[in-house]
Amino acid sequence: MPSTSLDSIRIEIEDALADFVKGKTEKLNRTDEFLQPITKSLAEYILDGGKRFRPTFAYLGFLGAGGIASPKIARACAALELVHVCALVHDDLMDGSDTRRNRQSIHRQFQDHHRDSKYVGNSENYGASVAILLGDLSLAWSDELLYLSGVEQPQLNQALPIFHEMREELMAGQYLDVLESVRGESNKVRSSKIAQLKSGKYSIERPLQFGAALAGANSTLIDDFSNFGLALGEAFQLRDDLLGIFGEPNVTGKPSGDDIREGKRTLLIALTLEKCNESERRLLEISLGDKNVESSKIAAIQEVISRCGAVEECERLISELFDKAVANLDKSVCLDEIKKLLVDMAKAATQREK
Amino acid sequence: MPSTSLDSIRIEIEDALADFVKGKTEKLNRTDEFLQPITKSLAEYILDGGKRFRPTFAYLGFLGAGGIASPKIARACAALELVHVCALVHDDLMDGSDTRRNRQSIHRQFQDHHRDSKYVGNSENYGASVAILLGDLSLAWSDELLYLSGVEQPQLNQALPIFHEMREELMAGQYLDVLESVRGESNKVRSSKIAQLKSGKYSIERPLQFGAALAGANSTLIDDFSNFGLALGEAFQLRDDLLGIFGEPNVTGKPSGDDIREGKRTLLIALTLEKCNESERRLLEISLGDKNVESSKIAAIQEVISRCGAVEECERLISELFDKAVANLDKSVCLDEIKKLLVDMAKAATQREK
């Protein structure tokens, strides 16, 4: 096997996305010139930034199962990023988030475009409509890119059930997440279960299994990747919980304390509510989900979450889960050269600042 | 070939949808009991009513190309209905429509559910979020149902490019439709082009071609179906334009004059603006897109549209396009037994009351 690095995988995935998006943009612009604002915006969104965790895990799952790298595989793995773009565009709309990857979210871009163009009707509705349609388009494209990847049918047929499962788990997990925030109750068991569906499985376990299936892996490796991916996925989500409260806005591309504003019932919040006193609890409960919460309150809540020991416990859990994931990986039948890259990815997923 | 009727096709499609939805509902409810409200609502939405135009045209395209009816084909054609459910759920949300098929639209159902359950946060946002996610789920399911249909891979590979094209045209057409309503200009050329993308191609031409491709049809029949489908699609859309203004609410399941409230820039509206006088034009322009337009104004606008001759011209166009479609069908290489059923469908598509 030629030597592979995370950088070279990243380049292959970027190239696959860029090629696909270029073809689509040209085709749609030829269909109707009025489509230019959306093709431009969606192309920029897809191509500009993003950690590419899901396609990278998929690619590593493929290589770890003994597959030989090729542009076909890069294209198939890149399809997962288009699912993710749908999830992000729609998530930002549902959460009313203004920014993503340090840029305006899609619905805000088109809300402004409506206002600046002096269009008739409601700018917010227009922004929301465009975001809905562009998320849908990206989701439809994910199938098309996978289909057009050039991966031979028997391999594709092994991977498609995992692809379908992953998308269903994502939507179900997103719904449960939204439900949990409106139910206004924090519960460690529920928080963990939801995090597992919408993040652990979707971001790590399923992509790894998808890649392994593309290489025709047997069930032993598929199970091994589950053992690695679920533990790592939980750690990944806990890091997300911490970044959602303490992340640096200019690094995360999201405002500070964003999860408080959005009322996210994360495991970090559940741990905090277990540990804090009654008045701190009241502060947290009235602030969670308050879109206009003052920055002084966010600072006070950050202080509560740190002081009560929830951050420490979260960091301890991340570290334990990381160790468990790596130990599971060690025992796995994944190729050794790829194990090293997966450990690097595990570090990137759990020690990241965005 | 055993004798086939539109009724028997309808039953096969309903069965295919019911089976798929039952399996999905059971699986998701086992995954998490909190998913029950959405599985129930989405199952009812998919299974309750609907004209099933797209799957029926697809099935007829398949039979017309000499294919032999089977449950596999019913499943593959039923996948088109799941694309359509995504389009409807998201369209209702974008338009702020309260009802669909005489039931509450999905976003309104969950808005009420939020309020009745005394959940925290904003009821409208919650309803919108659930509608976004259920539309996404239905779109993802459309691929899965097609993949699981059991249709052999070579046939599927012939039909998939058309399936992908159809979904892209739908999203592009929907965007152009939204754009046209906020640009606030009526233009016959633009109205026709958008109607062709979002309705003609999506509802009739592509489904027919998709079905024909499943039967391995040659390019002659694919082109023949285009000649039939595009003319019929245009007539179908013109009937939609008339129903959007004059439809009986208790038949269409939508409020009277819905297109006025939504500011739809249809060909009917473009024709009216061409024919009416200046004060009528002003009445129309201030009412189009006004969510709170009074019913007296709607009645006055209906009167204007009728009196100026736009309805008459629309009916004349429908009739001409119907004749043209049928003439094209006559000349086509489609099997004769199926031509008869396609003419029945053409009547249903252009003479319907909902």
Q: What is the mean pLDDT of chain A?
A: 94
Q: Which of B85, B75, B84, B92 is nearest to B43 (CA)?
A: B85
For residue B96, the 8-state DSSP code is T
**End-to-end Cα distance, chain B:** 32
CB B309 within 8 Å of CB B275: yes
Q: How far apart are CA B350 and CA B236, in angstroms?
A: 5
**Which residue in the set B114, B129, B289 is minimally distant from A121, CB to CB?**
B289
**Which residue in the set A31, A136, A171 is minimally distant from B90, CB to CB?**
A136
Which residues of chain A make contact with B21, given a CB cutoff of 8 A? Answer: none
Which residues of chain B make contact with A130, given a CB cutoff of 8 A? Answer: 175, 178
Contact flag A94-B35 (C-beta cutoff 8 Å): no
Q: How far apart are CA B36 and CA B108, in angstroms?
A: 17
Angle between helices B295-307 and B278-287 (to 10 degrees): 140
Task: Give pLDDT, residue B352.
Answer: 85
> Angle B306-B312-B318 (CA atoms, 0-180°, nearest 5)?
130
Q: How far apart are CA B65 and CA A295, in angstroms?
A: 66
Which residues of chain A make contact with B119, given a CB cutoff of 8 A? Answer: 182-184
Residue of A nearest to B286 (CA): A120
C-alpha dihedral (B45, B46, B49, B53), degrees to nearest 10: 140
For residue A100, the 8-state DSSP code is E
Task: Give pLDDT, residue B1.
Answer: 47
Which residues of chain A make contact with B109, given a CB cutoff of 8 A? Answer: none
Backbone dihedral angles phi then psi of residue B73, each to the nearest 5 degrees: -70, -40
Residue of A nearest to B110 (CA): A179
Strands B99-100 and B103-104: antiparallel
Q: How far apart are CA A31 and CA B103, in angstroms?
A: 36
For residue B103, the 8-state DSSP code is E
Backbone dihedral angles phi then psi of residue B100, each to the nearest 5 degrees: -155, 130
The residue assigned the tokens 């119907």 is: B322
Cα→Cα distances A151→A71, A216, A345, B10, B179, Å: 9, 12, 25, 36, 38
Residue of A nearest to B135 (CA): A136
Q: What is the pLDDT of residues A34-86, one digit of tens each?
A: 999 999 999 999 998 789 999 999 999 999 999 999 999 999 999 999 999 99
Distance of CA A233 to the CA centre of its chain: 11
Model confidence at A102: pLDDT above 80: no
C-alpha dihedral (B200, B206, B207, B213), degrees to nearest 10: 160
Model confidence at A2: pLDDT above 60: no
Reading phi first (left if > 0) and then psi (alpha if -120 to 50, else beta), residue A175 is in alpha
Q: How far apart are CA A216 and CA A67, in angstroms?
A: 8
- Tell me whether residue B186 is exposed, middle or buried, using C-beta atoms within 10 angstroms of its C-beta: 0 to 12, 13 to 18, 19 or more: buried
CB B63 within 8 Å of CB B220: no
**Which residue in the set B130, B171, B179 is minimally distant from A34, CB to CB?**
B179
Q: How far apart are CA A128 and CA B182, in angstroms?
A: 13
Q: How far apart are CA B321 and CA A220, in angstroms?
A: 60
Q: How far apart are CA A240 and CA B115, in angstroms?
A: 30
Model confidence at A101: pLDDT above 80: no
CA distance A129 to chain B (A): 5
CB B10 within 8 Å of CB B345: no
CB A42 within 8 Å of CB A136: no
Task: With a cut of 50, list the residues of chain B below it in pLDDT.
Answer: 1
Contact flag B164-A143 (C-beta cutoff 8 Å): yes
Residue of B nearest to A181 (CA): B120
Which residues of chain B make contact with A182, given a CB cutoff of 8 A? Answer: 114, 119-121, 126
Partners of B99 in beta bridges: B104
> Angle B312-B314-B318 (CA atoms, 0-180°, nearest 5)?
115
Q: Which domains does chain B have, with CATH numbers?
A: 6-351 (1.10.600.10)
CA distance A133 to chain B (A): 6
Q: What is the pLDDT of residues A290-334, one digit of tens each?
A: 888 999 999 999 999 999 999 999 999 999 999 999 999 999 999
At A111, is the pLDDT very low, low, confident or very high (cuts 50, 70, 90)? very high
CA distance B344 to chain A (A): 32
Task: Give pLDDT, residue A193.
Answer: 87
| Residue in A83, A182, A193, A206 to test binding to B, most B beta-carbons within 10 Å | A182
Model confidence at A220: pLDDT above 90: yes
Q: Which of B230, B228, B238 is nearest to B315 (CA)?
A: B238
Strands B99-100 and A99-100: unpaired
Task: Give pLDDT, residue B255.
Answer: 81
Kind plus residue range of the DSSP H or E element containing B99:
strand B99-100
Contact flag B130-A175 (C-beta cutoff 8 Å): yes
Q: What is the pLDDT of residues B75-107, one digit of tens each?
A: 999 999 999 999 999 999 999 888 887 789 999
Task: Give pLDDT, residue B3.
Answer: 64
Neighbours of B276 (CB within 10 A): 20
- Which amino acid is it at A330? D
Q: How far apart are CA B215 and CA B219, in angstroms?
A: 12
CA distance B295 to chain A (A): 20
For residue B334, the 8-state DSSP code is S
CA distance A63 to chain B (A): 26
Task: Give pLDDT, residue B99.
Answer: 85
- Chain A, chain B: beta-carbon pairs less than 8 Å apart: 143
**Which residue in the set A28, A172, A178 is minimally distant from B126, CB to CB?**
A178
CA distance B182 to chain A (A): 5
Contact flag B171-A136 (C-beta cutoff 8 Å): yes
Which residues of chain A make contact with B97, given a CB cutoff of 8 A? Answer: none
Contact flag A178-B94 (C-beta cutoff 8 Å): no
Q: Which of A206, A212, A58, A155 is nearest to B153 (CA)?
A: A155
CB B46 within 8 Å of CB B81: yes
| Residue in B82, B88, B107, B132 to test binding to A, most A beta-carbons within 10 Å | B132
**Which residue in the set B32, B129, B143 is minimally distant from A143, CB to CB?**
B143
For chain B, where are the alpha helices, taking DSSP H only? Answer: 6-31, 36-47, 53-64, 71-95, 106-116, 123-148, 153-183, 188-195, 206-214, 219-246, 249-252, 258-261, 267-275, 278-287, 295-307, 310-331, 336-351
Q: How far apart are CA B48 and CA B337, in angstroms?
A: 30
Residue of B nearest to A197 (CA): B31
Contact flag A135-B132 (C-beta cutoff 8 Å): yes
Strands B99-100 and A103-104: unpaired
C-alpha dihedral (A76, A82, A87, A89), degrees to nearest 10: 170
Which residues of chain B make contact with A187, given a CB cutoff of 8 A? Answer: none
At A3, is the pLDDT very low, low, confident or very high (cuts 50, 70, 90)? low
Contact flag B183-A130 (C-beta cutoff 8 Å): no
Partners of A100 in beta bridges: A103
CA distance A95 to chain B (A): 9
For residue A216, the 8-state DSSP code is T
Angle between helices B106-116 and B36-47 (to 10 degrees): 150
**Which residue in the set B143, B153, B175 is minimally distant from A38, CB to CB?**
B175
| Residue in B97, B129, B160, B201 to test binding to A, most A beta-carbons within 10 Å | B129
The residue assigned the tokens 């489908």 is: B229
> Angle B159-B160-B165 (CA atoms, 0-180°, nearest 5)?
105
Q: What is the pLDDT of residues A164-191, one digit of tens each?
A: 999 999 999 999 999 998 998 878 888 8
| Residue in A168, A264, A284, A292 to test binding to B, most B beta-carbons within 10 Å | A168
Reading phi first (left if > 0) and then psi (alpha if -120 to 50, else beta), residue A40 is in alpha
Which residues of chain A make contact with B114, given a CB cutoff of 8 A? Answer: 182
**Which residue in the set A35, A94, A157 is minimally distant from B132, CB to CB?**
A94
| Residue in B34, B36, B86, B193 to test binding to A, most A beta-carbons within 10 Å | B34
Contact flag A120-B182 (C-beta cutoff 8 Å): yes
> Angle B224-B73-B232 (CA atoms, 0-180°, nearest 5)?
30
Which residues of chain B make contact with A152, given a CB cutoff of 8 A? Answer: none
Which residues of chain B make contact with A144, given a CB cutoff of 8 A? Answer: 164, 168
Residue B253 CB contacts under 8 Å (≥ 6 apart), including other chains: B49, B99, B100, B101, B102, B103, B354
Task: Give pLDDT, residue B2.
Answer: 52
Residue of A nearest to B94 (CA): A129
Contact flag B28-A289 (C-beta cutoff 8 Å): no
Which residues of chain B make contact with A129, given a CB cutoff of 8 A? Answer: 94, 178
Q: Which of B102, B175, B105 is nearest to B134 (CA)?
A: B105
Structure tokens at A299: 């600072």
